A and B are shown apart, each in its own frame.
Chain A
Amino acid sequence: MATKTPSQSGLSRYADPAVLMRIRSLDLRVRSVMDGFYNGLHKSPLHGFSVEFSEYRQYTDGDDPRFIDWKIVARSDRYFIKLFEDETNLRCHLVVDNSRSMSFGTTQTDAGNTYTKADYAKTLAGCLAYALIEQRDAAGLVVFDEEVDEYIPARFRHGQLRQIYQALEKAEGGKSTDLTKPLERVAGQMRKRGMVIVISDFLAPIDGLERDLGYLASSGHELVVFQVLDPQEVNFEFDEPALFTDLETGEQRYIDPDQSRASYRMKLEEHLARVKKTCEKLGAVYELTTTDRPLELALTEFFVRRQHQRSSHGRVAARRGRNSGRAG
């Protein structure tokens, strides 16, 4: 069953996913979204981060003379090179679910083709990567199903964005969903604080979700969770009884939608509530979006919420500092 797109629902000032998803190239798709996004949003949402100084090292032959700290040379007449912890503001890993359940999609492009949750998630990931790289932040990518299919370490360098795009485009439909392994991998790679953005449908048992996300949260990483669902998954508006096939397990069940709709919606809401609760518990930014929703909206909402969250965190930290100073 086809779902209405924003062009039909009055959200015409945003890039209509139905139109957007017709663009085959992820790069172009992302630019389409992000151009509009920047036109409407002049202030960088990631503003405030700076290059972190690490240490000095004595200059040896072969070092790039550009990095010589001339002030030290003036003071001590010795050549030192200034080393930086990182070249970017932020190290962010995009963890994108590519399990088989993500290949479900009923939303149609205006050409009549349907696009899947995976298409939407990849575009979303592409947009985020674009935004990060534009802000000179390091972006990395993990594509997973039950294993880690693609892994690109977070870097800020020339060609990183293209590499991410290629990895996203290359990723084909995988198998079942398992968050544990990719998150462990990310945790193993990220020695310093950073950001992890998980994009998934989370249509799998979530008993281990708190543990998996909690491990990253406890390491000081900032967590962002995008839950992408198809409108049909939310509404379950099938007409005819049919043999429903689970995309991940292949299991088949005779389902009469009229009979099952109410219980399905109830169970789904319970599930979504649990996911949201888990995220909130861990201080993660949780964003639920459906594939018929304009990406800009999802992104804006996310940035606004994050800024709000950061500011509230900042106020809490300042209050804590003042309280501790008074106490001291």
Chain B
Amino acid sequence: MGVITPLFLAGIAAIAGPILFHMIRRTPKGQVPFSTLMFLEPSPPRVTRRSAVEHWLLLLIRATAVTVLAIAFSRPFLRTENEQALASQGRRIGILLDVSASMRREGLWEKALKELNQTLDQAKENDSFALFLFDKELIQLVSFEDWKGLDEGTRGEFLRKQLDGIEPGWQATDLGTVLPEAVTAVLDQKATETAAVATQLIVISDLQKGSRLTGLQAFDWPDSVAIDFRPLKSKTPENAGLQIIGSAEGDSDLRVRIDNSIDSASDAFQIAVEEFSPGSATSPLVPTGERVRERGQTSKPADRIQLVAHEELAAPLTLSAQVPAGQNRVVRISENDLTARATRLTLTGDATPFDNEAWFVRPDPARVTIEYYGEGATDEPNELRYYIERAFLPTPTREIDFVVASDGPTFASAAAALTIVAQPLNAEQLKQLCDEIRNGRHVVVVGETPEICGLAFELADRAVPEIVEASVDNYAMLSEVNLDHPLFSAFNDVRLADFSKLPIWKHRECQVDDAKASVLAKFDSGSPAIVEFENKKGSVTLFTFGWHAADSRFVLWSKFVPVVNSLLERVEGTAPPPSRLTVGDALPLSILSDAKTFKITRPSGLVKDYENGSGELILASEPGIYQVAWTPSSGPRKSLFAANLDPLESRTSPLGLDELAAIGIPLATAAGEEPSDEEKRQLQSRELEASQRAWQWLILGGLLLLLLETWLAGRTAERQGLAMEESA
């Protein structure tokens, strides 16, 4: 048995108190009223002889209570065999090596490796190590189990070898996610051990401000793990970063932000804007993350196919900006200067180059074909065609091909298309269109007559019900509109859901009992107005009224353009994929409609073929332009994506350890302050005492003894009082 604070044992001497008090017969048995005290002097307390100690049981209880309390305050613990085992087991150390983009700064990686080597050199025989790499994710290179399975002599070397060829990647740092993950991983491995051992996490990192600490505050740090941060200092602490904050989508100009760090010495910067052709920039390095994640399938040199520039690039445009230290500035680049498909922006004037490039790709407009079966001239305002041609306007992300297909289907070449039927079809057309619908075509039938209305049922492979011309007094209106349907979801607001401004003078009446058909709107008479039928991959939307002026005011209605455009947006492939990515994002492969294989050219020049539909996520692992090439049935296509560095990674000012301590991270002592054997023994004693917590039981016992003493003393006093009264 041992004690943590032996000084408190001196409190046992306090049992002299009860003993002395028991021997002093200064226990007035009560008050005696007397006529005068003028002849009486106060008597000194009289100490009786030892044999005269009264109430042995009370004395025993009081002395025991004092002793128990003194022992409790000295915080005793029982030495166990585990303690010895603890001493022989050594520490468990998890090393977390930062491989985020900010570690690409000059000299940092070398320092990190040096720190790692030093830590391994200082390790003792009993220590066991695990090695992790981290940026926004945690990757375990060596586990405690691996370490345990190795020969003692080769362990350090093995661990160092694991880092051969690994360099910092381009990912952002996310300490808030990674650190709790690492703690959990280390504790999971620890749980398999029998004895409790000291566990430490050594984080070798540049600890930049943009390390995302949000997740750390909420984490419930276990007591048994201490985090030892080994911050690395860069030779050049100043840094300016370049970030794209707005593209030409919606805004014709491109906006970029220059963020200058507070300790920066320079404030004059230039941005070089140059056209970029994939393959013009090559990097011999394979990114770390890629190496690690694709362990076992490392790329061979033969895979690297260099894309060469096939056209001479124009001289770069240079823009200047003054950005004082600690501030940022947004620079606009005119749309006219961004003629090329892909653009590289390079910041000059900054001593730290890793975040000085940004990449921009103008989004590829989607080509949409609208096929129209109907009559009418393009410049006749009374005809439907006049309005349809004008309702589907091209946008920067969408180009519209309007095809009048009255004589025969021409949609075979269009990947994305919408078909509008406003006239009767012949049998061949009907059959072809039916096949198309089954394969995913979307058809809108404008039921100007009962016969055309019947086409919709035929196209949807349904039996044609009886369709008659409705008799309308004055005009009909839409009611029971399904605002949850994508066609009307834009109006799903009390302020917008007013359909009373659409008078319909003529419409057709039919019964729709099909469970697979959904009625999107009805007339106020209860007859279906807009019905949607699904047919395998495709769908047919039937309007039981004509859009032209003779039937209704639909084409002049304010909601006409939104409604018909929402018809178009439902067609897959009409919305362009996002062209701006951050390093670490997955490439948007939804564009690869029916292609079986596709090829990705990475910014490093690495080209690789992939199988479509495998569900594999292909991440943008480095900043630059990614080219995806695939060959659908409509012919070979290419798409470009720009991946940029996470803006937070440019915030390279170092974090203070006090900031980390303030959010509750249990910091370990510095590496130089290795505790002595005596300190270790004390530490182990403390841990043992903390786990046993004998003091709590002793305090409880002491209190119970005091309660017993109070009761017994009260009872004794009561008896004495009674005895006195009897004797008096």
Residues on A lying within 8 angstroms of B by beta carbon are: 101-102, 104, 117, 201, 203-205, 230, 233, 238, 240-249, 251-256, 259-260, 263-264, 267-268, 271
A233 to B26, CA, bound (A): 23
Contact sample, A vs B, 14 pairs, CB 8 Å cutoff: A204-B38, A241-B25, A241-B28, A241-B29, A241-B43, A242-B32, A243-B32, A244-B34, A244-B37, A245-B32, A252-B31, A253-B41, A260-B40, A271-B39
What's the nearest-Cβ distance from chain B to residue A98, in Å?
Answer: 13
A183 to B34, CA, bound (A): 26
Q: State the main secondary structure of chain B at its contact with A.
A: loop
Contact of B39 among A230, A238, A267 (CB under 8 A): A267
Residues of A close to B46: CB separation below 8 A: 241, 256, 259
B636 within 8 A of A: no
CB atoms of A243 and B35 under 8 A apart: no
Name the residue of chain B whose CB is nearest to the CB of A102. Answer: B35
Contact of A203 among B25, B26, B36, B41 (CB under 8 A): B36
Count residues of chain B with CB under 8 A from any CB of chain A. Answer: 21
B30 within 8 A of A: yes
B42 within 8 A of A: yes
CB atoms of A243 and B36 under 8 A apart: no
Contact of A254 among B28, B35, B39 (CB under 8 A): B28
Residues of B close to A241: CB separation below 8 A: 25-29, 43, 46
Contact of B37 among A246, A256, A263, A271 (CB under 8 A): A246
B33 within 8 A of A: yes
What's the nearest-Cβ distance from chain A to residue B47, in Å?
Answer: 12
CB atoms of A255 and B43 under 8 A apart: yes
Q: With contacts A246-B36, A247-B34, A256-B43 known, what are 16 further pairs, Cβ within 8 A?
A: A102-B35, A104-B35, A117-B35, A230-B35, A240-B29, A243-B32, A247-B36, A253-B42, A254-B26, A254-B42, A255-B42, A260-B40, A260-B43, A263-B39, A263-B41, A264-B40
What's the nearest-Cβ distance from chain A to residue B33, in Å?
Answer: 5
Residues of A close to B26: CB separation below 8 A: 241, 254
Residues of A close to B25: CB separation below 8 A: 241
A88 to B41, CA, bound (A): 50
Closest 10 CB pairs of A and B: A256-B43, A104-B35, A267-B39, A101-B35, A243-B28, A246-B37, A242-B32, A203-B36, A253-B42, A242-B28
A253 to B25, CA, bound (A): 15
Residues of A close to B35: CB separation below 8 A: 101-102, 104, 117, 201, 203, 230, 233, 246-248
Q: Mark B152-191, 1 if CB is under 8 A from A, else 0.
A: 0000000000000000000000000000000000000000
Pick from B29, B34, B37, B41 the residue with the most CB of A within 10 Å.
B34
A243 to B31, CA, bound (A): 5
CB atoms of A260 and B41 under 8 A apart: yes
What's the nearest-Cβ distance from chain B to residue A206, in Å?
Answer: 10
What's the nearest-Cβ distance from chain A to residue B195, in Å?
Answer: 62
What's the nearest-Cβ distance from chain B to residue A258, in Å?
Answer: 9
Residues on B lying within 8 angstroms of A by beta carbon are: 25-43, 45-46
What's the nearest-Cβ distance from chain A to residue B558, in Å?
Answer: 102
Contact of B43 among A201, A245, A254, A271 (CB under 8 A): A254
Residues of B close to A263: CB separation below 8 A: 39, 41
A284 to B29, CA, bound (A): 43
Contact of A243 among B30, B39, B45 (CB under 8 A): B30
A104 to B45, CA, bound (A): 26
Residues of B close to A238: CB separation below 8 A: 32
What's the nearest-Cβ distance from chain B to residue A228, in Å?
Answer: 11
Name the residue of chain A whose CB is nearest to the CB of B728. Answer: A1
Contacts A252-B31, A254-B26 given; indicate if A244 touches B39 (C-beta within 8 A): no
Residues of A close to B31: CB separation below 8 A: 242-245, 252
CB atoms of A268 and B40 under 8 A apart: no
A248 to B38, CA, bound (A): 11
Contacts A203-B35, A247-B35 given; indicate if A253 touches B40 (C-beta within 8 A): yes
Name the residue of chain B whose CB is nearest to the CB of A264. Answer: B39
CB atoms of A242 and B29 under 8 A apart: yes
What's the nearest-Cβ distance from chain B to residue A231, in Å?
Answer: 12
CB atoms of A205 and B40 under 8 A apart: no
Residues of B close to A244: CB separation below 8 A: 31-34, 37, 40
Residues of B close to A242: CB separation below 8 A: 28-32
What's the nearest-Cβ distance from chain A to residue B24, in Å?
Answer: 11
Contacts A244-B34, A245-B33 given; indicate if A268 touches B39 (C-beta within 8 A): yes
Name the residue of chain A whose CB is nearest to the CB of B45. Answer: A254
A245 to B36, CA, bound (A): 8
Residues of A close to B42: CB separation below 8 A: 253-255
Name the residue of chain A whose CB is nearest to the CB of B46. Answer: A256
Residues of A close to B28: CB separation below 8 A: 241-243, 254
A203 to B37, CA, bound (A): 10
Contact of B34 among A245, A256, A259, A268 (CB under 8 A): A245
What's the nearest-Cβ distance from chain A to residue B30, in Å?
Answer: 6
A248 to B34, CA, bound (A): 9
A233 to B36, CA, bound (A): 9
CB atoms of A104 and B37 under 8 A apart: no
Name the residue of chain B whose CB is nearest to the CB of A269. Answer: B39
Name the residue of chain B whose CB is nearest to the CB of A100. Answer: B35
CB atoms of B38 and A205 under 8 A apart: yes
